Amino acid sequence: MKNLNRLESGGRIDRSKSLSFSFNGKLYYGYEGDTLASAMLANGLHVIARSFKYHRPRGIIGSGVEDPTSLIELLGEEASGNNLCTNVKLKEGLKAKSINCWPSVDFDVGAVVQYFAKFIPAGFYYKTFKWPTWHLFEPFIRIAAGLASAPKEPPKKGHFESRNAHTDFLIIGAGPAGLLATLMAARSGAKVFLVDQNTEAGGSLLSLNLNINQKPAMAWVESTLKEIANMSNVTHLQNSTAWAYREHNLVIVNEREVENVSIIERSWRVRAKNIIIATGAIERSLVFPNNDRPGVMLASAVLTFVNRYSVKPSDNMVLFTNNDSVYSYIEDLKTAGINVLAIVDSRKHIASTVLANAQNVRVILNSIIRNVNGYKKVNSVVVQSLVDKELETISCDLLAHSGGWNPMVHLHSQSRGTVKFNDRIASFVPDQSIQNSISIGACNGTFTLNEIFNETKSLLCGVSAHSKPLVYEGKLECSKQSYSIEALWSIDLSKEKNKAFFDIQNDVTHDDIQLALTEGYSNIEHVKRYTTGGMGFDQGKTGNVNIIGMVAKEQGIGLDDVGTTTFRSPFVPVSFGSISGVREGSVVLPFRHTPITKWNLENGAFMYEAGARWRRPGYFPIEGESFQETVNRECHAVRTSVGVYDGSPLGKFELKGENVGEFLDLIYTNIISSLEPGNGRYGLMLTDDGLIFDDGVAFRIDKHRWFISTSSGHSDAVYQHMLKILAFDHPEWDVKITNITNQWNNATICGPLARKLLKKLGTDIDCDNGSFPFMTFREGHIADIPARIIRVSFTGELSFEINVSPRNMLALWERIIEDGAEFGILPVGSEASHVLRVEKGFLSLGHEVDGTVDPYDLGMAWLMSKKKIDYIGKRSVHLRRSLGRSRRELVGLLPNNPNDAIPEGAPITPDGKKVATEGFTTACVWSVVNERWVGLALLENGHIRHGEEACVRMKDKIIRAKITKPVFHDSDGILLRS
Amino acid sequence: MLLIHCPFCKNRNETEFVYGGPVGANRPDPNLVSDEEWVDYLTMVPNPMGPVYERWWHARGCDKWFIICRDTVTHEILENPSEEP
Ligand SMILES: [Zn+2]
Q: How many CB contacts within 8 angstroms connect chain A with chain B?
A: 56
Return left, alpha or beta for B21; rule: phi > 0 is left, psi -120 to 50 is alpha, else beta: left
Nearest by CB to residue B75, choosing from A247, A723, A869, is A247
Angle, alpha carbons A805-A809-A811 (nearest 5°): 125
Residue A86: exposed, middle, or buried by beta-carbon count in 10 A (0-12, 13-18, 19+)?
A: buried
Question: If you average pLDDT over residues A122-131, what whole number do you get?
Answer: 56
CA–centroid distance, residue A741 to ligand 1 (Å): 21
The yes-or-no verdict on residue A255 having pLDDT over 90 is yes
pLDDT score, position A108: 55
CA–centroid distance, residue B6 to ligand 1 (Å): 5
Angle, alpha carbons A721-A654-A828 (nearest 5°): 90
CA–CA separation, A535 vs A909, rounded Å?
A: 47
Give B42's contacts in chain A (Cβ within 8 Å). 688-689, 876
How many beta carbons lie within 10 A of that of residue A151, not counting itself?
18
Question: How many residues in chain A?
Answer: 978
| Residue among B1, B5, B40 with most chain A CBs within 10 A, to mutate | B1
The amino acid that residue B70 corresponds to is R
- Label residue A573 by pLDDT band (50, 70, 90): confident
Question: How many residues in chain B?
Answer: 85
3-state helix, strand, coil in chain A (%, to 5): 25, 30, 45
CA–CA separation, A118 vs A388, rounded Å?
A: 33
Domain A489-571 -> CATH class: mainly alpha
Nearest by CB to residue B42, choosing from A269, A723, A876, is A876
Q: For helices A524-531 and A544-555, what crossing angle results, to 10°?
A: 120
- Label residue A149 by pLDDT band (50, 70, 90): confident
Give B26's contacts in chain A (Cβ within 8 Å). 729
CA–CA separation, A826 vs A752, rounded Å?
A: 13
Is the CATH number 3.40.50.300 carried by domain A14-109? no
Sketch the domain layout of chain A as residue ranges. Answer: 14-109, 159-282+407-460, 286-402, 489-571, 626-649+744-836, 651-739
> A589 CB near a chain B CB, below 8 Å?
no
- Label residue A772 by pLDDT band (50, 70, 90): very high
Neighbouring residues of A288: CB distance < 8 A, sequence distance ≥ 6: A320, A368, A369, A370, A371, A372, A490, A491, A500
Nearest CA in chain B to A722: B65
Strand partners, A623: none
- Label residue A593 by pLDDT band (50, 70, 90): very high
Closest-CA distance of chain B to residue A623, Å: 44
> A883 CB near a chain B CB, below 8 Å?
no
pLDDT score, position A127: 58
Straight-line distance from the first to the last Cα atom of chain B, in angstroms, rounded to the nearest whole number: 26
Contact A276/A440 with Cβ under 8 angstroms?
yes
CA–centroid distance, residue A566 to ligand 1 (Å): 35
Neighbouring residues of A82: CB distance < 8 A, sequence distance ≥ 6: A71, A72, A73, A99, A147, A148, A537, A573
Residue A203: exposed, middle, or buried by beta-carbon count in 10 A (0-12, 13-18, 19+)?
A: buried
> B20 CB near a chain A CB, below 8 Å?
yes
Neighbouring residues of B13: CB distance < 8 A, sequence distance ≥ 6: B1, B2, B3, B4
Read out DSSP for A757-798? HHHHH-BSS--STTTS-TTBEEEEEETTEEEEEE---SSSS-
> A728 CB near a chain B CB, below 8 Å?
yes
Contact A27/A503 with Cβ under 8 angstroms?
no
Nearest CA in chain B to A245: B1
pLDDT score, position A234: 98
CA–centroid distance, residue A906 to ligand 1 (Å): 45
Q: Which range, of A269-273, A296-300, A566-570, B70-74, averages the lowest pLDDT?
A: A566-570
Question: What percent of chain A is predicted at pLDDT more than 70?
Answer: 95
CB-side neighbour CA atoms (13 Å) of A441: 24
Q: Which of A69-73, A167-171, A606-610 has the highest mean pLDDT?
A: A167-171
Contact A402/A326 with Cβ under 8 angstroms?
yes
- Label residue A141 by pLDDT band (50, 70, 90): low
CA–CA separation, A581 vs A577, rounded Å?
A: 6
Give B31's contacts in chain A (Cβ within 8 Å). 869-870, 875
What does the H/E/C string look like for A392-445? Answer: EEEECCEEEEECCEEECCHHHHHCCCCEEEECCCCEEEECCCCCCEEECHHHHC
Give B12's contacts in chain A (Cβ within 8 Å). none
In degrees and rounded to multiples of 5, residue A484 shows phi and psi of -145, 160
Give A870's contacts in chain B (Cβ within 8 Å). 29-31
Closest-CA distance of chain B to residue A414, Å: 11
Q: Do A248 and B75 touch (CB under 8 A)?
A: yes
CA–centroid distance, residue A654 to ligand 1 (Å): 21
Question: If you average pLDDT over residues A740-761, what whole number do you get?
Answer: 97
Nearest CA in chain A to B66: A727
Closest-CA distance of chain B to residue A434, Å: 7
pLDDT score, position A102: 52
Contact A822/A642 with Cβ under 8 angstroms?
no
Rg (CA), chain B: 15
> B44 CB near a chain A CB, below 8 Å?
no
Strands (E), B16-64: 18-22, 51-57
H/E stretch holding A514: helix A510-518
Contact A24/A36 with Cβ under 8 angstroms?
no
CA–CA separation, A774 vs A798, rounded Å?
A: 9
Is the model more confident about A173 or about A574?
A173
pLDDT score, position A109: 52
> A879 CB near a chain B CB, below 8 Å?
yes
- The predicted-structure confidence for A303-340, as pLDDT tens digits, reads as follows 999 999 999 999 999 999 999 999 999 999 999 999 99
pLDDT score, position A540: 82
C-alpha distances in angstroms, A935 versus A840, A881, A906, A909, A919?
11, 26, 11, 16, 13
Nearest by CB to residue A879, choosing from B20, B38, B66, is B38
The yes-or-no verdict on residue A219 having pLDDT over 90 is yes
- The predicted-structure confidence for A462-494, as pLDDT tens digits, reads as follows 787 666 888 898 899 999 999 999 999 999 998
Nearest CA in chain B to A271: B3
In degrees and rounded to multiples of 5, residue B35 shows phi and psi of -55, -45
- The predicted-structure confidence for A352-361, as pLDDT tens digits, reads as follows 999 999 999 9
pLDDT score, position A495: 87
- The predicted-structure confidence for A845-882, as pLDDT tens digits, reads as follows 888 888 899 999 999 999 999 999 999 999 999 999 99
Mean pLDDT value across chain A: 92
pLDDT score, position A45: 94
CATH code matching the domain that covers B3-83, chosen among 3.30.2270.10, 3.40.50.150, 3.30.360.10, 1.10.8.50:
3.30.2270.10
Pairing between strand A736-739 and A745-750? Answer: unpaired
CA–CA separation, A537 vs A548, rounded Å?
A: 19
pTM for this model (two decimals): 0.88
Question: What percent of chain A is predicted at pLDDT more than 90?
Answer: 80
- The predicted-structure confidence for A451-462, as pLDDT tens digits, reads as follows 999 999 999 987
The yes-or-no verdict on residue A231 having pLDDT over 90 is yes
> A875 CB near a chain B CB, below 8 Å?
yes
Report which of A719, A713, A720 is spatially closest to residue A740, judged by C-alpha positions.
A719
What is the fold of A651-739?
Alpha-Beta Plaits (3.30.70)
CA–CA separation, A978 vs A759, rounded Å?
A: 16
Angle, alpha carbons A666-A669-A672 (nearest 5°): 70
What is A159-282+407-460's CATH number?
3.50.50.60
Domain A286-402 -> CATH class: alpha beta
- The predicted-structure confidence for A58-68, as pLDDT tens digits, reads as follows 999 999 999 98
Nearest by CB to residue A870, choosing from B31, B63, B73, is B31
Neighbouring residues of A612: CB distance < 8 A, sequence distance ≥ 6: A592, A649, A712, A713, A714, A715, A716
CA–CA separation, A743 vs A730, rounded Å?
A: 27
pLDDT score, position A361: 96
CA–CA separation, A62 vs A537, rounded Å?
A: 14
Nearest by CB to residue A246, choosing from B1, B29, B76, is B1
> A583 CB near a chain B CB, below 8 Å?
no
The yes-or-no verdict on residue A101 having pLDDT over 70 is no
> A416 CB near a chain B CB, below 8 Å?
yes
Q: Do domains A626-649+744-836 and A651-739 have the same CATH topology?
A: no
Read out DSSP for A720-754? HHHHHIIIII-TTS--EEEE-TTT-EEEEEESTTH
Distance of CA A780 to the CA centre of its chain: 52
pLDDT score, position A217: 97
CA A739, A745, A748, A754 torsion-angle sign:
negative
pLDDT score, position A700: 98
> A729 CB near a chain B CB, below 8 Å?
yes
pLDDT score, position A66: 93
pLDDT score, position A151: 79
Is the model more confident about A132 or about A811?
A811
pLDDT score, position B83: 72
Q: Omega into A895 within 30° of 0, i.e. cis?
A: no
The yes-or-no verdict on residue A26 having pLDDT over 90 is yes
pLDDT score, position A223: 97
- Label residue A49 by pLDDT band (50, 70, 90): confident
C-alpha distances in angstroms, A973 versus A638, A770, A796, A843, A889?
15, 17, 7, 15, 21
| Residue among B15, B26, B27, B66 with most chain A CBs within 10 A, to mutate | B27
What is the fold of A626-649+744-836?
Gyrase A; domain 2 (3.30.1360)
- The predicted-structure confidence for A880-932, as pLDDT tens digits, reads as follows 999 999 999 999 999 999 999 999 999 999 999 999 999 999 999 999 999 99
How many beta carbons lie within 10 A of that of residue A808, not counting itself?
19
CA–CA separation, A43 vs B84, rounded Å?
A: 67
CA–CA separation, A60 vs A88, rounded Å?
A: 13
Q: Which range, of A310-324, A570-584, A700-714, A900-914, averages the lowest pLDDT?
A: A570-584
Nearest by CB to residue B2, choosing from A247, A716, A724, is A247
pLDDT score, position A286: 96
The yes-or-no verdict on residue A703 having pLDDT over 60 is yes
